[in-house]
Structure 1
């Protein structure tokens, strides 16, 4: 077990009811919101830019994969680097690097038609930068906010809003400017994020004194794994969610989205996804107010309503009812995310938090592309509707499995 945190806590002695909107949290909130808005805009901008360059749908697929694959492959190493050199330093370096890489990409599109390998290489570097950045989010949040649950819920509301507004904003900008200009504008969001992170005062730029004489990179990696596996509630949740990503979320995303576009139309698809985003905002607001004694138990119960999302599509409900199903699912999913992230950030020692978060993020992501990729071929054999029913049932199965685990249902809330 890692030792206790030795870096001075700027919020030590304050109650959990201390004001959330301190100067540091405002800077961090602005950094995250701006960065998340850019992340939400980027797939739309890249899709338009690649199509405009003449590489077709296959080129778009390669480009989006190049952005995501390095993130999933490198986030564990990003967690080690974050704990080793300091979360804030790594996040600022990541923002600066992604700003440069994306501006170079925008310049290539502006000057002509870049080779596909150039696009893929630069997007892969952006994805690698995100893998270095993400573990720091878990480490910084408890340092800038005494009330970790309220901070996570507020950030979740922000993320949900950006997921709704980002693609729409990118679409509007594409209507009045070139794809290269939108890619460049999106790059500037990393600059804003980096500046805000530089202005933080509660978070040291380096690793802190508890990392003096730090062991080797391999030893750090092993220690992170040991801390992750030492918490039965944590690795159990990840194992259960690997199954959910494979048989629940994967098919729901691929088949649900495809069915909405083909059977209901693109405009309805946009309406439904906006309803999901609005539900996620509501779920975050609920998480700000509701503070259950057993957060994972409450979060697991909230996941049952996620079943409505694929169920509404499978039943062929009218578009407004499908939108309601997606909205309710968004509430449950957002509430679970806040409960889980808060549990990780308040039960794991600060000095290993980046690595532990990286392991849980990697585990949560690893089966998602498998489920998404397998859904299409399986639908050709078993049919789309039966697989959507399976996806819906998996939400209930997930809840039952989580509640059946004493370490999960019995985990009590803790204050950092």
Structure 2
């Protein structure tokens, strides 16, 4: 095909693989829908909230769009762990399509009470972690081992692109139609993904889902508990993501209350953050040649520093530049923190240790988001944005001091 010949050689075999190629538009559609919902969910909460309760409802809505996924990951494992990846993906896509699709219908009928809105968002995200696992496990069943790296890179690139395109599109559309209809577009994208996944069969020689090895799982958790450095990076990451959570609540309210602007400006903030994150993420390979702990702490402190100008009353041009710079600083973090785990974990236990890491981190940002609502109501958006930045810098400094003191402590003989 002419289009396939035009792409880099490393990706041609992947795009020539018909089942994977057919899944790509569906994956791209759901990623774009989620990118649009990053703006629409928050903006609809502002629209439907009763007077004086916008901060609380916004925090509850953004948290409901993610936090139940952590509960589902921890509680539903005994029923879903052995399910084929395709079924997991179809199940999650169907749930999200139905629950998110009910939001614009309730809006049109005049029934979208704030409690119903939060409940529908929470129900839609219950299987989110399992759907993500099914997505990448299905990729492994579709592609042979030598083509999976390129396939993963394509999926990751689509996810990054959705952060750039989705918020900008939603910010524009929300000035024309209700954000409820934008969430309806997200629901439609998941319906497309579910239908396409149901029609896709894995390779004939693809292995079935492996049974859970209780002994290996226990060994992996014991290793994590017995490695202070791994626990240290896990704790740092949890706090980093937790302190980021209030930003998702404070930024939309900063735009409406302090800057007196509309959703288009919110979309611009997140779009430029996404551009910065993609650019920063591309530097991760070069940064791996540097000491990973200092670089990781520098990223945490750098993100905190770019939030401080929000508290000075700086105008939108300044804070937009800061937010884009923050995206560039934040971009390499996940790759570098994963590398720390990979370098210090025996290969047979790596999957179990990384699974434990993911389960613990699923709660971090949603808990921060949930606390962001009351904090914004009490302190105001600017103070919360700057306070999140200051606390993040403080965490980086404390961890750096603790590591420096630990490195100088004498080793017991």
Do the two structures share a fold, i.e. TM-score over 0.5?
Answer: yes
Q: 2:32 aligns with which of 15, 28, 37?
A: 37
Kindly state the Cα deviation for residue 38 of structure 1 after the two structures are TM-superposed: 1.7
Kindly state the Cα deviation for residue 275 of structure 1 after the two structures are TM-superposed: 2.4
- The DSSP-based 3-state class of the residue aligned with 1:165 is helix
TM-score by length of 1: 0.69
Contiguous gaps of at least 5 residues in structure 1 = 1-16, 408-416
Contact 1:255 1:388 in 2 (8 A): no
For each residue in 1:313-334, what CA deviation from the matched residue of structure 2 results, as whole angstroms up to 9, or x when unmatched? 2455554443332222211211
For each residue in 1:68-90, what CA deviation from the matched residue of structure 2 results, as whole angstroms up to 9, or x when unmatched? 33223223235665543244431
Aligned 1:112-261 pairs, distance under 5 A: 112-113=110-111, 118-136=116-134, 139=137, 155-174=155-174, 177=177, 181-198=181-198, 199=200, 201=202, 207-208=208-209, 210-211=210-211, 214=212, 225-226=221-222, 229=225, 232-246=228-242, 248-250=243-245, 252=247, 258-259=253-254
Say whether 1:356 aligns with 2:356.
Answer: yes
CA distance in 2, matches of 1:30, 1:299: 34
CA distance in 1, matches of 2:371, 2:355: 25
Q: Tell me the equivalent position of 2:94.
A: 96
TM-score by length of 2: 0.69
Say whether 1:372 aligns with 2:403.
Answer: no
Say whether 1:324 aligns with 2:327.
Answer: no
Q: Tell me the equivalent position of 2:411.
A: none
- The DSSP-based 3-state class of the residue aligned with 1:128 is coil
Question: What is the aligned residue count?
Answer: 383
Contact 1:157 1:282 in 2 (8 A): no
Contiguous gaps of at least 5 residues in structure 2 = 1-8, 408-413
Structural RMSD (CA): 4.7
With over 3 angstroms needed to count, the CA separation of the structure-2 counterparts of 1:256 and 1:176, relative to structure 1, is closer
Kindly state the Cα deviation for residue 366 of structure 1 after the two structures are TM-superposed: 6.0
